[in-house]
Amino acid sequence: MNSFIYDIPTRVYFGENQLGHLGKELAGYGRRVLLVYGGGSIKKTGLYNKVVTEIKKAGLELFECSGIEPNPRVTSVNRGADICKKEKIDVLLAVGGGSTIDATKFIGAAAFYEGDAWDIMTEKAPIVNFLPIVTVLTLSATGSEMDAGGVISNIETKDKIGLMHPVLLPKVSFLDPTNTYTVNEYQTACGAADMLNHILEVYFNMNQDLYMLDCVMEGLMKTIIKYAPVAMSDPENYEARANLMWASSWAINGFVDGGKQQAWSCHPMEHEISAYYDITHGLGLAILTPRWLTYTLDETTVSKFYQFGVNVFDIDKNLEPMTVAKKSVEMISEFLFHTLKLQSTLTEIGIDDSNFSIMAKKACEGNVLPGFKPLNQQDIENIFRMCL
Ligand code: NZQ
Ligand code: ZN
């Protein structure tokens, strides 16, 4: 069991009618606020007006950077950073899903860099300073509202790069489940697949760690499996939206990691699919997850699958471990492709094998992905082929 540091200093306002705290939280960091948002969903839902009202009420100066794309582009990060420099912004306010929050994180870092923000993503330029970030989350999925990472795409080079740095942690996040009532069935399903995979990337680990953390992860997974279909069929179900929202934050805020220091597997593979084909992150993960599980199941890993099958899917514990393991993969496929109604193959979404070789090479950076089971380029290509 490894020692670890746990330090997540994001202040969370959870629940309805908390936006009244927004003005004073922003004012704590300065008077010039850059509001960052996506393609306009916040205008349709009325959240934009509510946020602007609070900013004005607090007597703060408002600037805007809109049009952050799903799979946010580095060009948008550069655009936001330019506004920060020109307008001498003090604090950033991200209102949206993971894409908006991720872009805002790197806008805050690029505001202190004179070159292309891509240099920060490729770690050619270190993060030397940053602007504080406040978020209002509108989609439960990535956990960006309470983690220190972000993922940015470069369309020209077909790259999608994730980067973690402690300064990227939001200072404050407003998590009001009612702000997710308008998330459609498909995005709700993709969000559930994403948060479920965040937990699986940590849970599937053969190193001994805290039993308590495995129980927490099993509870989080059961929560997602229980409430995602409720939110899909009854979008304004507060209990379902609230459970999904808090589960998304806790799936990836570092708590469940404990002392486990294991690299992730599905995420680097999925980021290549999104980089080449600009698909929704959660959909790519849904397609990869059961194939990755199947590929990594053998006599050395079966005990973890057995634990997963018995504790998460209530499979009969008296069955043979390998039988339980295989059934657990069937049950997660059933959940992803039937309950969540997500497409189950890359072929269905128009992706063929033409770029698999280069995507596999990039996913493991020409070496090995050192996750649950180490995967080399050929292994990754094999997993991509299983997804056709
Ligand atoms: O852009 P707008 O108009 O706001 O519409 C968005 C977008 O079209 C819409 N939406 C968001 N909230 C809504 C809503 N529509 C109606 N009502 C609402 N309340 O949903 C669409 C998708 O939004 P997006 O922000 O792209 O989704 P998500 O939160 O899933 O973010 C995905 C991005 O996050 C990255 C992914 O790779 C991807 O780029 N990730 C970030 C992580 C992190 N920071 O730690 C970890 C994840 O593993 C992931 O890689
Ligand atoms: Zn993810």
- Of the candidates 38, 101, 42, 36, the one whose C-alpha atom is nearest the C-alpha of residue 63 is 36
Q: Given the CA of residue 140, which atom of ligand 1 is nearest to it?
A: 29
Read off the pLDDT of residues 163-204 as tens digits, 9 standing for 90 and up: 999 999 999 999 999 999 999 999 999 999 999 999 999 999
Instruction: Count Cα neighbours of 330 within 13 Å in the Cβ-side half-sphere.
Output: 7
Residue among 41, 209, 211, 56 at smallest CA distance from 136: 41
Calculate mean pLDDT across residues 73-82.
98
Q: Do domains 11-179 and 184-386 have the same CATH topology?
A: no
Ligand nearest to the CA of 169: 1
Measured from the Cα of 69, ligand 1's closest atom is 1
For residues 25 and 319, what is the distance between their CA atoms, to the nearest angstrom? 54
Number of C-beta neighbours around residue 118 at 10 A = 21
* Fold (topology level) of 11-179: Rossmann fold (3.40.50)
* Interval 78-93 mean pLDDT: 98
Query: Given pLDDT bands bounded at 50, 70 and 90, which one contains residue 225?
Result: very high
Cα(311)–Cα(220) distance, integer angstroms: 12
Q: Is the pLDDT of residue 58 over 90?
A: yes
Indicate if the pLDDT at residue 115 is higher than 90.
yes
Report how far apart, in Å, the C-alpha atoms of 351 and of each of 6, 155, 276, 286, 364 are: 40, 17, 10, 15, 20
pLDDT, one tens digit per residue, over 231-259 is 999 999 999 999 999 999 999 999 999 99
Q: What residues sit around ligand 2, an ion, with C-beta below 5 angstroms?
A: 194
Ligand nearest to the CA of 73: 1
Confidence band for 265, pLDDT divided at 50, 70 and 90: very high
* Whether residue 320 has pLDDT greater than 90: yes
pLDDT band at 208 (very low <50, low <70, confident <90, very high): confident
pLDDT tens digits for range 129-160: 999 999 999 999 999 999 999 999 999 999 99
Rounded mean pLDDT of 369-373?
A: 94
Share the mean pLDDT of the chain: 97
CB neighbour class for 318 (10 Å; exposed up to 12, middle 13-18, buried from 19): exposed
Query: Which residue lies with its CA nearest to atom 49 of ligand 1?
Result: 142
Q: Is the dihedral of CA 14, 252, 137, 312 positive or negative?
A: negative
Helix extents (H) in the chain? 22-27, 41-45, 47-57, 74-87, 98-110, 118-121, 185-203, 211-233, 238-252, 266-277, 281-296, 302-313, 321-334, 356-363, 377-386
Instruction: Check pLDDT > 90 for residue 1.
Output: no
Interface predicted TM-score (ipTM): 0.99
Q: Which atom of ligand 1 is nearest to the CA of 71?
A: 39
Quote the ligand 1 centre to 191 CA distance (angstroms): 8
Domain ranges of the chain: 11-179, 184-386
- Nearest protein CA to atom 36 of ligand 1, as residue: 281
Pocket of ligand 1 (CB under 6 A): 38-42, 45, 70-71, 96-100, 102, 138-139, 141-144, 147, 149-151, 179-180, 182-183, 187, 191, 194, 252, 267, 281-282
pLDDT, one tens digit per residue, over 327-336 is 999 999 999 9
CB atoms closer than 10 angstroms to residue 211: 8
Query: Average pLDDT, stretch 63-77?
Result: 98
Residue nearest to atom 21 of ligand 1 (CA): 70
Question: Is the pLDDT reported for residue 13 higher than 90?
Answer: yes
Number of H helices, E strands in the chain: 15, 10
The CATH-assigned architecture of domain 184-386 is Up-down Bundle (1.20)
> How high is the pLDDT of residue 261?
84
> Is the pLDDT reported for residue 372 higher than 90?
yes
pLDDT at 145: 98
Please tell me the number of the ligand nearest to residue 200's CA. 2
Q: Which ligand is nearest to the CA of 285?
A: 2
> Residue with the nearest Cα to atom 26 of ligand 1?
70
Q: Tell me which of 45, 77, 135, 139 to substitute to probe ligand 1's pocket, judged by most ligand atoms within 8 Å of the beta carbon.
A: 139
Q: How many CA atoms lie within 13 A of 313 on its CB side?
A: 19
